[in-house]
Structure formats: C-alpha cells, structure tokens
Amino acid sequence: MSGHVPVVIVGGGQAGLSMSWSLKEQGVGHVVLERHTVAHSWKEDRWESFCLVTPNWQCTLPGHPYAGDDPTGFMVQDEIVEYVESYAAAFDAPVHEGVAVTSVEARGVGSDPAANRPAGAARDSSTAPSAADVVDGVLAAAPEGYVVRTTAGDLTCDAVVLAVGGYHVPTVPRMAERLPATVTQIHSSRYKSASPLPDGAVLVVGSGQSGAQIAEDLHLAGREVHLAVGTAPRVARTYRGRDVVAWLHDSGHYDMAIEDHKEGLGARHEANHYVTGRDGGRDIDLRRFAAEGMTLHGRLAALDVDGTATFAGDLKRNLDMADAVSERIKDGIDAWIAAHGVDAPEEDRYVPVWEPEDDGGALVDLHAAGITTVIWSTGFRSDWSWVKVPAFDGSGYPTHHRGVTSVPGLFVLGLPWQHTWGSGRFAGVARDAGHLAPRVAAVTAAATTAG
C-alpha cells in the first residue's frame, strides 16, 4: 500500500464497517484496514455455542438492520458472522484484509518530541483543545495529516478513525504462572467447547458475561465445574411479559448519554450484566447451577506452586449484590410501567433457590479436587501503544467526546460506552458513526482547502 487517501479506518468489524458506510454516504474517500478478516473476532474469539445476549431487533448497523424472521431471537455465531460479512458485501466496503497497522503517526515526525504533534495540537494537556471545541468545528484538521504504517506499506491521510474497540489484549493474572504444569489453562477467548479439554473438573475464574456463560456451557455438557464468583451484576432475561431489553429500550435507557449515567465515565469500566440468549434466552442463575451440582467459590485470591487455590470469603456478598442489581432494574421497569399506564401482567419477584452454607472462602487442592483445567475469564486490556499521537489520558485511554479526540483529525469508534450503552454493540454504533461522519468529512474538506 502507498500513496494518499483522505481517511484511513483501522478495523474491519462492525464499527469500522459502520464508519465506512457512513463516509460513503458523505462521499468521502477512504479505506478500511483489517489485520485479519471481516468478522474475525466473531469467528475465532467466541465459543461454539455463543449467541447474542441482546435480541436480533437491536442489530441496526447503518443501512443494514436485521431482516431475518426471528427479531426477538438471538443470533448464534454463524448467523452473526453472516450478518457482518453480508454487510461489508452489501455496499462493497473498501476493506483490505490481512493488513495490520503497525503505527499511526503525525506527518513530519522527527526526533524532537514536539515535532510529533500535529499542527495545531497543544503542547501539554493543560492547554489541550477541548473536545467541545473539536465537535463545534472550531479546530481544523492538522494540515500535515497522518502517516499510517502497515505490514503492506505506508499510507498518508487527512484523518484516521480508530475502530478497533477497547478489548485488545487478553488479561491473565500473574498468579497463573504458579499453576502446576499438569493443569491446562486457557483464556476465555480461546475456549471453544468442553470436548477438547482434558478429562476432569474445570475451574472457571470470573463470573462476568463470558465466565458465567462458559460455566453454563460446561455444566450443560456434563462437566464438573468450579466457578470463582466475582462482583459482576446480573439481569433477568424477561420480566412482566417482555424481554427486559425491550422495557429498557422503551424507557429510553439505551439513549442515555454516559454523561447522564449515575456512574459517569466510570460506567466504561463496569462489568457487563450476565444473562444469555441461548435456547431462546433465559436467566443465568448461579444459585441454580449450585443447586444442580456446580461448586461456587468466592473470588480467587491466590495460587500456590503446589496447586493450592485460596478463595476469598465473599461468595454470599457477591451473589446477593448480583441479585440486588437485577431487582433494582425491575424496580425501574415497574416505575416506568406505572408512570406510563402500561398494561403489563404482574410478576412475583425472584426468590433465591440456593444459599451458600459458608462464605465461599476456602483452600482447595486442585489435584485433590480433580481440577485439570483452569479457564481465565478475566477480561481484556486496551493497547494503544501503536498510536503515536498525543490523544490519551494518564491511564492510556483516548481523550474524546463522542468519538472526537482531543487531536484534530483523529477519531475513535466502537468503544464501550463511547456515547451510550450501545456504542460498542450492534445496537448503537450506527448513531455514533452517523455523528462522526460529517465531522470526518469536515476534516478532509479543510485539508483539501489548505492543500
């Protein structure tokens, strides 16, 4: 690859494709660079029984809403891949697959750190332009633009859209190094099904959305499962005759901007509520799993080299907190139903089907317990080290407002809670792409005028 293109979109998933569709609508020339293939993460980083946890009707990519015959169902893995791939084909997205971006740099980079700043960028964060100024169009594009270095050559451009999400590198705690070599360990992103795992019991560490669903998958496959339960919340699948997602949609929850969230920007770091769309959708109730034979523990606190695991004594608290979140969501639905006079059937509230006999704290000899596999469902971290542009805060997170970063000509798309709950999902990325497209177009227009 070589030469100049007005806009480079990094990432060929649903966010990058949504940006591509929106820029085509604006008549802006661009390319999409995807290090693997379109829909790669849906193909390779999910387990075989994976399905969406939000109903199909929430799949609303720009120009490509769900058109199947099961709007209230939940697409399984192959259907998700087909949905994304067909989207790219539908408007002939200019995707270059197998092209990894190795760095994004301001043009004219030299050895002097000051030379790394695009023209117009501030010297330090104390005088950095505000995101609002960028949104309002006060700042023009950096006249010199950017260099995007790739495994297929280098491109120059006027603007860059980073559409790579926020989950880049699987995280595994350092204590994993202390596991005996006789114990197989994998990250949740590499889990496919129960069958390839060694015979024996499986310890799943982490009870977020992936951990809870993987524990269920193993449980349904007849495996002996131990689950280290963390602080992730849960949500009911249905309440008062409808999917909870439908109630939250009608009540405007999914239109709420992050600035209006009770947790503020902290919402970006909250764990997802666990629930499943499997077999038409149902609750994930860890207490029911325990009643059916799954062994629940508190958080995994330590591992010794002899294979002894130490679990914290917080199991009851974590289960109670997860249930409390689910009940508070129902409280909100009840209030909305009453305020709007909606005719909806009454429903009894959840009653715990199992209570732990103790606090879940224990020392467990993995060998004696027959545990031969550990699955680390411990999340991901972001890695923006390849973006050589001063657009990040002290924690390394992009400084932005609705995807417009603090550096002219650099944009982000598809981040969790970038603007609303749906920003990182099929449900809300269209709104974010539509917001960014005219702003990106303005950058390229300004660059053309300057040139």
Work out how many domains the chain is built from and give that number.
2
What does 109-174 look like in DSSP terms, one character per residue?
--SSGGGGSPTT--SSGGGPPPHHHHHTT-S---TT-EEEEEBTEEEEEEEEEE-S-S--EE---G
In this prediction, residue 447 carries a pLDDT of 85
- Residues 133 and 200 reside in one and the same domain: no
Compute the distance between CA of residue 102 and CA of residue 151 in angstroms, rounded to an integer: 7
Q: According to DSSP H, which parts of 251-399 are helical?
A: 286-291, 315-340
- Residues 136 and 191 reside in one and the same domain: no
In this prediction, residue 110 carries a pLDDT of 38
Low-confidence ranges of the chain (pLDDT < 70): 108-143, 451
Asked if residue 149 lies in contact with residue 335, where contact means CB atoms within 8 angstroms, the answer is: no
- Residues 319 and 228 reside in one and the same domain: yes
Compute the distance between CA of residue 421 and CA of residue 263 in angstroms, rounded to an integer: 12
- Residues 302 and 389 reside in one and the same domain: no
- Residues 177 and 321 reside in one and the same domain: yes
- Residues 302 and 437 reside in one and the same domain: no
Those residues whose C-beta lies under 8 Å from the C-beta of residue 358, and which sit 6 or more positions away, are 313, 315
In this prediction, residue 140 carries a pLDDT of 36
Determine whether 256 is exposed, middle or buried from the number of CB atoms within 10 Å of its CB (0-12, 13-18, 19+): middle
Q: Where in the sequence is the domain holding 297, given as residue range(s)?
A: 170-379
Compute the distance between CA of residue 426 and CA of residue 14 in angstroms, rounded to an integer: 7
Q: Looking at 379, 412, 429, which one is the last position of a domain?
A: 379
- Residues 344 and 264 reside in one and the same domain: yes
Q: Report pLDDT digits (tens) over 168-196.
A: 999 999 999 999 999 999 999 999 999 99
Q: Looking at 332, 364, 379, which one is the last position of a domain?
A: 379
Q: Report pLDDT digits (tens) over 134-169.
A: 333 333 334 489 999 999 999 999 999 999 998 899
- Residues 183 and 332 reside in one and the same domain: yes
Compute the distance between CA of residue 30 and CA of residue 38 in angstroms, rounded to an integer: 17
Report the CATH number at residue 243: 3.50.50.60
- Residues 138 and 33 reside in one and the same domain: yes
- Residues 228 and 115 reside in one and the same domain: no
Q: Looking at 320, 355, 379, which one is the last position of a domain?
A: 379
- Residues 98 and 35 reside in one and the same domain: yes
- Residues 372 and 392 reside in one and the same domain: no
In this prediction, residue 81 carries a pLDDT of 97
In this prediction, residue 108 carries a pLDDT of 57
Largest CA distance in the chain: 73
